[in-house]
Amino acid sequence: MTETRLPVRRALLSVSDKTGLIELGRALAAHGAELLSTGGSARALREAGLTVKDVSEHTGFPEILDGRVKTLVPQVHGGILARRDLPAHVSQMEEHGIVPIDLVCVNLYPFAATVASGAGDEDCIENIDIGGPAMIRAAAKNFDHVTILTSPQQYGDFVQSLDAGGTYLSERRDYAGAAYAHTASYDGMISRWFAERAGELLPPVLTLSGSRDELLRYGENPHQKAAFYRDGSTRAGIATARQVQGKALSYNNLNDTDAAFEAVAEFDAPTVVIVKHANPCGVASAETLEQAWIAALRCDPVSAFGGIVAVNRTLDAETAQRISAIFTEVIVAPDADAQAIEILSRKKNLRLLLTGGMPDPEAEGLAFRSVAGGFLAQSRDAGRVLESDLKVVTKRAPTEKEMKDLLFAFRVAKHVKSNAVIYVRNNATVGIGAGQMSRVDSARIAARKSEDAANVAGETAPLTKGSVAASDAFFPFADGLESVVAAGAVAVIQPGGSIRDQEVIDAADAAGIAMVFTGMRHFRH
């Protein structure tokens, strides 16, 4: 059956975001549509030379309550909701002097922007739109007879349809679906704001929403579909990043880049993090990014090939030159100077992302994971252990230098998949063991990779000799601690809390190493 097009004889335009409004109004006027509007939208259309009828004139009822009530009247909602194919609806419209409205173009008060600006509760509440969502939902419900537009991005396609004679039913159905998604997202933002004001991080009903930024080629594997959605957060990171160059990012690229940037944000000094498959394979802080890169790469130069690199300073030419010497998938930085950008432009496939800032590693927020039939939500792991939090549990206390390395190592452990064991020397990782079912295996793997890195560097001694070690969770038995000691570690940081803590402490004392407890663990599954 051939679809018929629905022309627009009367349109109601009331938008907060006036992008494209004038062009849309002109297109409608060119096709003979009567324009109804309110407030700032009506003013903007008139200033562009278009003839506009105020909604208050159309309804015969003035705006009241400081504009809180202007469209919540039968003349508006009857004109939107009436079914043109039902004689009873048509008769009632004629009886009450209601005329049909064929197009509703509405986007909502800027609630999110008002909240983000730091406005007080009164201003935020006044930016909760009531009439707008009511009109959107009404028009979307009656998509058989009404077209609903909620985004300037829809105007171009709509005008093309208008020029061809009007919209098809299938188009109006698609616009209706987008409209309900729009109001659901809006209501979700408001409900989360109320929950935050009540101090509820995990409210009884949690509404999640996001706008699709792009469809990705595939997910973790080619047979999986994937997309990237933005949730409206302004926290610096992947969602705020501008891609300067390189081919399109994949699902795995985005996931790994996020992991790298979150990890590098933990450190105050110039720092480089190299990530492979969501795990750091090299982390180092130094006086310059170039020095940090050299130290981070030294930890595991084999795994760094094809990795993701994150830095916490403006990327400079010297560091860019170093990084570009090996195959790198993505570089993410808060910014980059012109010379660094020029150097990296020679690597056409390398993606360079500039986020415009660094995320606060201690900022509150939620992290999610899907499970069958639902999802898990938890607060972000924003915990940060300070020296004052540490408890020395061995006869020997760490030296000042060891203490700095211990704190560095534990911050790295926060971003390594459990079970995690990390060796650090001079503010640089020298061995990382990740994701093993046994903590002993993680310790041994990290030590073995350190030996491999030493061989690449032409060094005879393992890089772990004289290092400190961090464990993301407690050692359940002394064998894990003994593996760390065997690798050459002279000090250990771990949460503590095992029923066999004393056994582990005794092993540390027997080896003559220092050990501190944090009282905080960093499981990452």
Q: Which of 31, 277, 347, 404 is catalytic?
A: 277
Does the domain at residues 239-354 carry the CATH identifier 3.10.20.600? no
Name the nearest CA neighbour of 213 among 189, 187, 237.
237
Q: Please write the tens of the pLDDT for every residue from 277-301.
A: 999 999 999 999 999 999 999 999 9
Is 277 an active-site residue? yes
Q: Please write the tens of the pLDDT for every residue from 415-469.
A: 999 999 999 999 999 999 998 999 999 999 999 988 888 888 888 778 899 999 9
Instruction: Tell the CATH superfamily of the 388-517 domain.
Output: AICAR transformylase, duplication domain (3.40.140.20)
pLDDT score of 199 more than 90: no
In whole angstroms, give the CA distance from residue 520 to residue 523: 10
CA distances in angstroms from 324 to 40, 92, 106, 287, 460, listed in the order given: 52, 72, 48, 20, 28
Angle between helices 289-299 and 439-457 (to 10 degrees): 110
Average pLDDT score, the chain: 92
Q: Please write the tens of the pLDDT for every residue from 302-337.
A: 999 999 999 999 999 999 999 999 999 999 999 999
| Six token digits for residue 439 | 């903590």
In whole angstroms, give the CA distance from residue 59 to residue 66: 17
Domain locations in the chain as residue ranges: 10-197, 239-354, 388-517
Q: Do domains 10-197 and 239-354 have the same CATH topology?
A: no
Is 522 an active-site residue? no
Confidence of residue 21 (pLDDT cuts 50, 70, 90): very high
Name the nearest CA neighbour of 186 among 237, 102, 105, 115.
115
User: Which architecture characterizes domain 10-197 according to CATH?
Assistant: 3-Layer(aba) Sandwich (3.40)
**What is the model's pTM?**
0.86
Q: Which of 141, 347, 404, 465 is catalytic?
A: 141
Amino acid (one-letter) located at 515? M
In whole angstroms, give the CA distance from residue 172 to residue 165: 14
In whole angstroms, give the CA distance from residue 434 to residue 418: 6
Strands 514-517 and 391-392, how do they pair? Answer: antiparallel
